[in-house]
Amino acid sequence: MALIGVLGGMGPLATVDFMEKVVRLTRATRDQEHLPLLVASLPHIPDRSRAILDGGEDPLPAMLSGIDLLNRNEVGVIAIPCNAAHHWYAQLQARSAAPILHIGEACINAIQDSVQRVAILGTSGLIAAGFYQEALTARGITPVVPDEVTQARLDASVRAAKANDIDEATVQLSAALAILIAQGIRAGVMACTEIPLAARNLSTPTITLIDSTLELARATVAFAVARGWNSPSPVALDRI
């Protein structure tokens, strides 16, 4: 048994959402059949989107401190429920003894083969980072980058969720989706972990939405269950 490490707090409610998805995806009849987690929720990590966009404070040192903390405690794998953080994936993985699951990879693997065009629903910084565009193109899917007006709605949705205002986040996301639908878009990746929080209360069926938080949770549970980390062992408990 090993602990699942989570580098979180980017943002805090998205980390809670990720944990809830991990718990609900785990088949269990009692506490002892669930998966053990060590979650470093470090919201003080500087803003990823701003660092990518306009030279805001570099978040890498604080993220590396979090990776070090998790590795000092001998986690067996790390999940980072923040898409923009994966702009620094290579540096984070280079520092980490534990493998880091890639949220974008998990998310793009979940897109059905029949899908030809996918809108990227994330922050401006995530769009500027460009790795979703590259990965979609590599799979033969055309990435659709929202226009300026739509992107402003998405950025506002993310900001509202980080400030605990999920109602406003939902209003902004709805407005963005209405524009995309009018533009003929039928599928989107929620490539920011705040977007699924905003999408929870969408009142009308919209477009097919792939949830990066859910897909990362699926990959995490599959990794851990394959290694039997949901099976308690007294020896392993002594080693925490």
Interface positions with a second copy (CB under 8 A): 1, 3, 9-13, 15-16, 19-20, 23-24, 26, 28-47, 61-62, 65-66, 68-69, 72-73, 159, 162-164, 232, 236-238, 240
- The nearest distance, CB 139 to a second copy, in angstroms, is 31
Max intra-chain CA distance, the chain: 58
Q: Strand, helix or coil at 76?
A: strand
Smallest gap from residue 186 Cβ to a second copy (A):
32
Peptide bond into 11 cis (omega under 30): yes
Backbone angles phi, psi at 41, to 5 degrees: -95, 100
DSSP E strands in 80-204: the ranges are 117-121, 142-144, 187-190
Nearer to a second copy, 60 or 118 (CB): 60
Shortest distance, CB of residue 38 to a second copy, whole angstroms? 6
Cβ within 8 Å of residue 94, ≥6 positions away: none
Closest approach, Cβ 209 to a second copy, in A, equals 22
Question: Which residue's CB is nearer to a second copy, number 129 or number 144?
Answer: 129
Nearer to a second copy, 25 or 181 (CB): 25
